[in-house]
A = this chain, B = another copy of it.
Amino acid sequence: MEFLVRTENLLPHDTPEEVRDQLKKGERERAMELREAGILKRLWRVPGRNATVGLYEAEDPAALHDALTSLPMWKWMDITVEALATHPQER
């Protein structure tokens, strides 16, 4: 099933550049793995914000939760999830 996932990155502004870079790098790598696993299907930026909208696919909400918490930035992200139903036009 598919989910619409919104994230806001709340990493404190005074995080050392080094730590921030390492987190960003880890974030990109883990995102790439989630893409390859077919879990992260699309990702957009919310213009003007350190925030994203993503389209995910996972077996169920628990599997999605595990995918999202595997992101190194998870701890600092405010995330909201919306479960989507397949539309008859696309069945």
Contact = CB atoms under 8 A, between A and B. Distances in A.
Given A31-B89, A75-B13, A86-B62, A44 B2 contact: yes
B87 A48 contact: no
A68 interface: yes
Contacts of A53: 4, 82, 84
State the number of copies, please: 10
A34 to B, nearest CB: 11
A23 to B, nearest CB: 12
Interface residues of A, number: 42
B5 A44 contact: no
Nearest to A4: B53
A45 to B, nearest CB: 4
5 interchain residue pairs of minimum CB distance = A48-B79, A83-B83, A44-B84, A61-B85, A47-B61
15 contacts: A2-B44, A4-B4, A4-B53, A31-B89, A44-B87, A45-B65, A45-B85, A45-B87, A47-B62, A48-B81, A49-B79, A53-B82, A61-B83, A64-B85, A81-B83
